[in-house]
Amino acid sequence: MKVLRFRSGFTLIELLVVIAIIAILIGLLLPAVQKVRSTAARLKCQNNLKQIGLALHNYEGVNKVFPPAYVTTSTSLDGSAYGIAYGDEYRNGPPGWAWGVFLLPHLEQDNLYRQFNLNEPCWAPANAAAVQTRVAAFLCPSATGGSDGFDVEREGADVRHGTPMARSDGSRIRFAHAHYVTNAGIHQPWGRTTAYCYDYDTPEPVPENGGKAARIDGPFYRNSKVSVAMVSDGLSNTVFIGEHSSVLSNKTWVGVVPGAVTPPRLDMRPWPSENNGAGCLVGVHSGPDTHDHPQVIIHAPNDPFGHTDEMWGEHGNGCNVLFGDGSVRFITTFIRPDTWVALSTRDGGEVAGGDY
């Protein structure tokens, strides 16, 4: 008698049903995984800023002032170093070292700090390797525009694109990325007329402002020596450092090269934006700057105009910001303009509302 044998297994329909169920489950799971990753990146960014805040206060504890945005030894000198002419219209010159370098010993980066020859310009060949070093504390994991360094650029024929700067030996000047920038206050230091770029502490009478004098009123600018006592608005009410993603423009913690610019990489305006002066490599300002339509231009975090001199994060509608007291808060794009202006000055006497 012939025995019938039946082969066990899935039919095609059953297999398709199983595959469909798995696809649905993956579709439900992916947003949750993405949300967890996004939250972890945001927390890492906040932790970076907290480390920077501690380093700032350790530096202040030793030097009795906070570090400058960057340094120029003498703004009155004209000259050239390794093929880079100075001073430019903003009176920038050597050595150009910026805030991040001064903080390295306070961020457990002593070995890297010792690699810099601070007596030489930050663009000198002797410093070429050290200035390209990635420092994790200065990099936000959410930034999508790059974190492996960039060519420093001078102004090109197209204001949306610069031209790589080179030393006299033909080698390009490359700096490490920073996804964090210093706060210069309301007015852009790189927007002052040349006569008032020799000393940023000198108020500048601005015709567009009815002749009223304007000075750099944030905690960081070239050759600044801001002490705790000079932040009379209160450390907890003054923005010190904030995010600036490399997707918007390239920034660095290393230094400033005379004649450098920061071309926009993500510019959502319908007209070309002008390149900014070299100081914009390390800092931003809130506006309204007296030189540039002060009644309307406010650079709130993640402002859709996409200025190269505004704070910008990739954590949604806003960014993480470090205050002078070391606290880190998320500031949204929708913050009241007058509140953002008040938080950006160190001694303006404004009353910052609690709506942020």
Q: What is the pLDDT of residue 162?
A: 79
Residue 20 belongs to a domain: no
Residue 22 belongs to a domain: no
Residue 37 belongs to a domain: no
Judge whether 242 and 322 are in contact, CB under 8 Å: yes
pLDDT in tens, the chain (356 residues): 555 555 556 677 777 777 888 888 777 766 755 655 677 888 999 999 999 999 999 999 999 999 999 999 999 999 999 999 998 899 999 999 999 999 999 999 999 999 999 999 999 999 999 999 999 999 999 999 999 999 999 887 665 677 899 999 999 999 999 999 999 999 989 889 999 999 999 999 987 766 778 889 999 999 999 999 999 999 999 999 999 999 999 999 999 999 999 988 876 555 555 566 789 999 999 988 887 766 667 889 999 888 898 999 999 999 999 999 999 999 999 999 889 999 999 998 877 766 66
Judge whether 184 and 192 are in contact, CB under 8 Å: no
pLDDT, one tens digit per residue, over 260-269 is 999 888 765 5
Going by their DSSP bridges, the two strands 84-86 and 153-154 should be labelled as: unpaired
Residue 195 belongs to a domain: yes
Q: Please give the model's pTM, rounded to 2 decimal places.
A: 0.88
pLDDT, one tens digit per residue, over 159-217 is 567 789 999 999 999 999 999 999 999 998 988 999 999 999 999 998 776 677 888 99
Residue 168 belongs to a domain: yes
Q: What is the pLDDT of residue 69?
A: 98
Judged by DSSP in three states, 79 sits in strand
For residue 277, give the DSSP letter. P
Q: What is the pLDDT of residue 150?
A: 96
Pick left, alpha or beta for residue 141 (phi over 0 → left; psi -120 to 50 → alpha; otherwise beta): alpha
Q: What is the pLDDT of residue 267?
A: 61
Q: Which residues contact residue 341 at a Cβ distance below 8 angstroms, ignoring those fewer than 6 apart? A: 186, 286, 287, 288, 298, 348, 350
Residue 17 belongs to a domain: no
Look at the chain and report how many structural domains it folds into: 1
Burial of 7 per CB tally in 10 Å (0-12, 13-18, 19+): exposed
Token pair recorded at residue 181: 């920038």
Residue 130 belongs to a domain: yes
Residue 30 belongs to a domain: no
Q: What is the pLDDT of residue 88?
A: 87
Residue range of the domain that includes 190: 65-344
CA dihedral for 106, 107, 111, 117, sign (positive or negative): negative
Q: What is the pLDDT of residue 33?
A: 55
Q: Which residues contact residue 331 at a Cβ distance below 8 angstroms, ignoring those fewer than 6 apart? A: 242, 300, 301, 311, 318, 319, 320, 321, 340, 343, 356
